[in-house]
């Protein structure tokens, strides 16, 4: 009987051990796949958008703002501060610290609840990345298994690197590099011992110790970190006393402040899915934007917009009036400035790229360039007399009787004067002479969609965005060659590889340099003494063309100097 009991106990013990081993093996196999998230660690990393001179326009990210820091970027005293406070025996254990667990169990039993976890840095990393923070035995066992697996696969330095990049530091700063940039406006190698201690003390309770909202509390926590480092002999008494006295400057401005939102939105729109999600890949995106010119353009739009509101006696918030401006370097196509509306806060819609409006008379130079190319010259007389046109719409006969803006007739007017003063009737008669089909064939070189197939082509009856207008006006500003506007010059991946690069792209030769010079000479007169005379600038050679549509729903000025062209649109959003 006694032997039977012993035998039965042995069998039960064996079954228990076997079941425990089987459960451990099952759990170990189960965690292998999840552990890959840490072993092959590729967290979402913020991308940075720069202007042409390498000045930051904005960080872009999806949910978490994170700048990745490699281990060799970390100051030694930062690593020591972290280990001293969170896991002193980190470099000695294999992921689980039995001493800490025993201490934690004793304290938990004494308190009658879970009050201390006894987790190593490795376990804390696992809890943050792979598990929940619930305090249950099942989760703790799984955490320990994960820790053993991770420690087998990764070096201590790799675990530290992952920990410092994964952890939240409050203020939507994820990772130590992000926190150093955000709170102190410093790179990691610029941190003082006190700043490093402050950051090392944050992950324990990022909101509670947030230095922006609780500065004294954050300093006290940092001093505790420093005292711990001194007490275990990792810093000298002199270094401790010096660091304790320091009160680091903490910046309250948002690290993610976007100083050119229309441009940043446009970059994201163009590249969001081209290389995965552009916001999470840690890319460096270099634009062609000149921030000095961007600021000038923004001020100019605001100034003109306020004048327009006064003219129409309208108020912001009640008006549908809006504006857009794009400035392009003529020879390269580099977009130097882009203002998509009078206020990004009131409307993020980018009117430079996302809308098509009628250019009206601003399209006339392309009609007149066609005339020059087929044998006309600036002195050729054009007929400036009224005409009526008959057409049918939905089976009903219609009459179109266009007129000049000034409501008068000149009889005959030189081609130059017809364009300088934007004479509608002279333009319509010119189109009638040349033929709509001839003009349409020439305009096909402009890569313009939906060119009218009737006489309304004379008055710019088609839809074009300001950016498209900048592209086609480059044929005058760039000696007959049309250049594609470009916003992004290159994109560099997280590992330093150039994955996207552009060069100035010539699309087509619309006319010869000689003929383009003739048109520029005429358009200079538009600014000197014609419809664009308000654009004159002392000491600057300017050419350009105005354009309006019926009831002034759209108003344009498309102008250029020898180096830069600027397209400005004002109109009603509705």
519 torsion bin: left (phi>0), alpha (psi -120 to 50), beta (else): alpha
Rounded distance, CA 359 to CA 547, Å? 6
Handedness of CA 58, 60, 63, 64 (dihedral sign): negative
Which residues have CB under 8 Å from 168's CB, separation 6+?
174, 203, 206
Q: What is the longest distance spanned by two Cα atoms in the chain?
A: 131
Helix H, strand E, coil C: the string for 129-198 is: HCCCCCCCHHHHHHHHHHHHHHHHHCCHHHHHHHHHHHCECCCCEECHHHHHHHHHCCCHHHCCHHHHHH
**SS3 assignment, position 426:** helix
Which pair of structure tokens corresponds to residue 305? Answer: 């917009």
Element (H, E) at 557: strand 554-560
Contact 537, 291 (CB under 8 A): no
**SS3 assignment, position 573:** coil
The DSSP call for residue 350 is -
Contact 201, 222 (CB under 8 A): yes
DSSP, residue by residue, 493-510? -TTS-EEEE----EEEE-
Which residues have CB under 8 Å from 1's CB, separation 6+?
none
Which pair of structure tokens corresponds to residue 390? Answer: 């008959």
Which residues have CB under 8 Å from 33's CB, separation 6+?
none
Q: Which candidate in 46, 80, 86, 479 is catalytic?
A: 86
Indicate the burial class of 207 (C-beta count within 10 angstroms; 0-12, 13-18, 19 or more): exposed
Rounded distance, CA 39 to CA 25, Å? 20
Contact 362, 547 (CB under 8 A): yes
Rounded distance, CA 487 to CA 338, Å? 10
Q: Which candidate in 327, 361, 456, 474 is catalytic?
A: 361
Task: Output b/e per residue, 1-35; b: 16+ Cβ within 10 A.
Answer: eeeeeeeeeeeeeeeeeeeeeeeeeebeeebeebb
Which pair of structure tokens corresponds to residue 209? Answer: 């110790």
86 is catalytic: yes
* Closest residue by Cα to residue 438 from 459, 423, 453: 453
* Closest residue by Cα to residue 494 from 109, 75, 172, 177: 177
DSSP, residue by residue, 213-276? T-HHHHHHHHHHHHHHHHHTTSS-HHHHHHHHH-------S-TT--S-HHHHHHHHHHHTTBTB
Report the catalytic residues: 86, 361
């Amino acid at each position: 009987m006694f032997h039977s009991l012993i035998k039965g106990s042995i069998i039960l013990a064996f079954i228990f051990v076997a079941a425990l081993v089987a459960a451990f093996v099952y759990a170990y196999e189960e965690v292998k796949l999840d552990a890959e998230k840490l072993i092959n660690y590729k967290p979402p990393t913020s991308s940075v958008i720069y202007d042409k001179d390498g000045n930051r326009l904005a960080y872009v990210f999806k949910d978490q703002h994170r700048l990745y820091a490699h281990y060799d970027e970390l100051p030694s005293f930062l690593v020591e501060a972290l280990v001293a406070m969170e896991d002193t025996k980190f470099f000695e254990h294999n992921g689980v610290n039995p001493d800490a667990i025993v201490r934690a169990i004793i304290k938990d039993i004494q308190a009658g609840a879970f009050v201390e976890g006894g987790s190593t840095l490795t376990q804390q990393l696992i809890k943050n990345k792979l598990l929940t923070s619930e305090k249950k035995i099942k989760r703790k066992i799984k955490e320990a298994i994960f820790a053993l697996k991770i420690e087998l696969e990764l070096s201590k330095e790799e675990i530290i690197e992952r920990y410092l990049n994964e952890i939240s530091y409050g203020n939507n700063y994820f990772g130590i590099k992000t926190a150093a940039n955000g709170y102190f406006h410093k790179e990691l190698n610029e941190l003082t011992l006190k700043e490093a201690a402050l950051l090392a003390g944050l992950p324990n309770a990022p909101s509670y110790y947030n230095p922006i909202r609780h500065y004294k509390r954050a300093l006290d926590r940092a001093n505790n970190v420093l005292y711990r480092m001194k007490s275990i002999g990792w810093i000298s008494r002199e270094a401790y006393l010096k660091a304790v006295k320091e009160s680091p400057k903490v910046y309250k401005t948002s690290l993610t402040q976007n100083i050119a939102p229309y441009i940043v939105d446009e970059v994201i729109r163009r590249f969001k899915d081209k290389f995965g999600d552009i916001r999470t890949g840690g890319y460096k995106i270099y634009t062609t934007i000149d921030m000095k010119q961007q600021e000038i353009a923004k001020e100019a739009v605001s100034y003109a917009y306020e004048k327009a509101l006064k003219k129409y006696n309208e108020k912001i918030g009640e008006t549908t009036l809006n504006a857009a401006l794009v400035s392009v370097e003529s020879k390269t196509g580099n977009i130097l400035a882009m203002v998509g509306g009078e206020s990004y806060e009131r409307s993020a819609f980018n009117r430079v790229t996302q809308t098509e409006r009628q250019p009206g008379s601003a399209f006339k130079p392309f009609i007149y360039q066609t005339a020059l190319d087929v044998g006309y010259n600036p002195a050729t007389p054009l007929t400036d007399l009224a005409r009526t046109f008959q057409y049918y719409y939905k089976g009903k006969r219609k009459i179109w009787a266009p007129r000049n803006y000034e409501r008068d007739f000149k009889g005959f007017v030189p081609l130059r004067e017809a364009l300088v003063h934007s004479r509608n009737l002279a333009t319509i008669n010119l189109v009638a002479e040349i033929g709509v089909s001839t003009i349409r064939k020439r305009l096909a070189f402009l890569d313009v969609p939906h060119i009218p197939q009737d006489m309304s082509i004379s008055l710019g009856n088609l839809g074009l965005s300001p950016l498209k207008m900048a592209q086609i006006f480059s044929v005058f500003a760039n000696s007959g060659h049309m250049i594609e506007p470009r916003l992004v010059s290159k994109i560099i991946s997280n590992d330093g590889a150039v994955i996207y690069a552009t060069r100035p792209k010539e699309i087509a030769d619309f006319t010869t340099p000689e003929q383009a010079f003739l048109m520029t000479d005429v358009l200079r007169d538009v600014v000197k003494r014609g419809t664009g005379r308000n654009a004159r600038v002392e000491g600057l050679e300017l050419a350009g063309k105005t354009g309006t549509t019926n009831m002034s729903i759209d108003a344009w000025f498309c102008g250029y100097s020898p180096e830069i062209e600027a397209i400005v649109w004002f109109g009603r959003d509705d």
